[in-house]
Amino acid sequence: MIRTVLLVFIISCTTQVVAQDFPSQVWHDGEIVLLEGDTLKGQVKYSQETDIVEFTRGNANTAIAFSARKVLYFEIFDRSVNRYREFYALPFAVKGDYETPVVFEVILEGRPITILSRERIEYKVVNYPYAVSGTYSRLELMYTYYFLGKDGKIKVFPGSKKDLIWMLKDKSQLIKKFMKANRIRPERRVDLIKTVDYYNSLFKETKTP
């Protein structure tokens, strides 16, 4: 009886992993603005791994695919998080020095720094105490964050506290105090946003009466 319950539990976990939907599999209400100026409104799905955006007005069999080279901007309403999400095709050197348009999502818009992100699907090792081997691998959606400066350059954020302090080095002392007081863990999106938002606030002009 116990063995049966454990097997059901393990199969259930595996089924949940298999059933997980990734961005390239999900259609959203949205719109695409093409580089030529045309605006398309309908169903949109995307893949940041291939930098392809697809569009249809309801029939997936008649979907049109656009590379990042042809897209200026697109927006979707993501029902899983109940909010709009914005994406831009921006020039970036993924390898070497050659820049080509790739799709970035805007996570925090601000000055002097805007936070962007890109998604990728990777295998992650998961530990389950009741599994036969104790561990197994599953596909998960992972994120890489980038800083877009006022000079228009995009820099990857490696992810550590030291990296964050270095990238915000012109206000490093204030950033250190803020991170300590707020127990910031920059690998968490909410903490990264909170820190950069605070950094941006240090540059806001104070109005005198």
Confidence label for 14 from pLDDT (cuts 50, 70 and 90): very low
Question: How far is 156 from 21, CA to CA, in rounded Å?
Answer: 26
Q: Are 45 and 52 in contact (CB under 8 A)?
A: no
Mean per-residue pLDDT for 18-37? 84
What is the predicted pLDDT for the residue at 202?
A: 96
Mean pLDDT is lowest, of 42-51, 88-97, 173-182, for 88-97
Is residue 6's pLDDT more than 80? Answer: no
What is the pLDDT of the chain when averaged over all its residues?
85
Return the beta strands (E) in the chain as ranges. 28-34, 39-47, 52-56, 64-67, 71-78, 83-92, 100-108, 114-127, 135-148, 154-157
What is the predicted pLDDT for the residue at 11?
A: 41
Residues 135 and 104 in one domain: yes
Residues 151 and 163 in one domain: no
Residues 84 and 130 in one domain: yes
Specify the number of domains making up the chain: 2
What is the predicted pLDDT for the residue at 128?
A: 62
Question: How far is 92 from 78, CA to CA, in rounded Å?
Answer: 26
Number of H helices, E strands in the chain: 4, 10
What is the predicted pLDDT for the residue at 1?
A: 47
Mean per-residue pLDDT for 15-43? 81
Residues 152 and 51 in one domain: yes
Range of the domain at 202: 159-209
Is residue 109's pLDDT more than 80? Answer: yes
Mean per-residue pLDDT for 182-187? 95
Tokens 């030291």 label which residue?
162
Residues 177 and 126 in one domain: no
Mean per-residue pLDDT for 113-139? 77
Mean per-residue pLDDT for 51-75? 91
Residues 83 and 163 in one domain: no
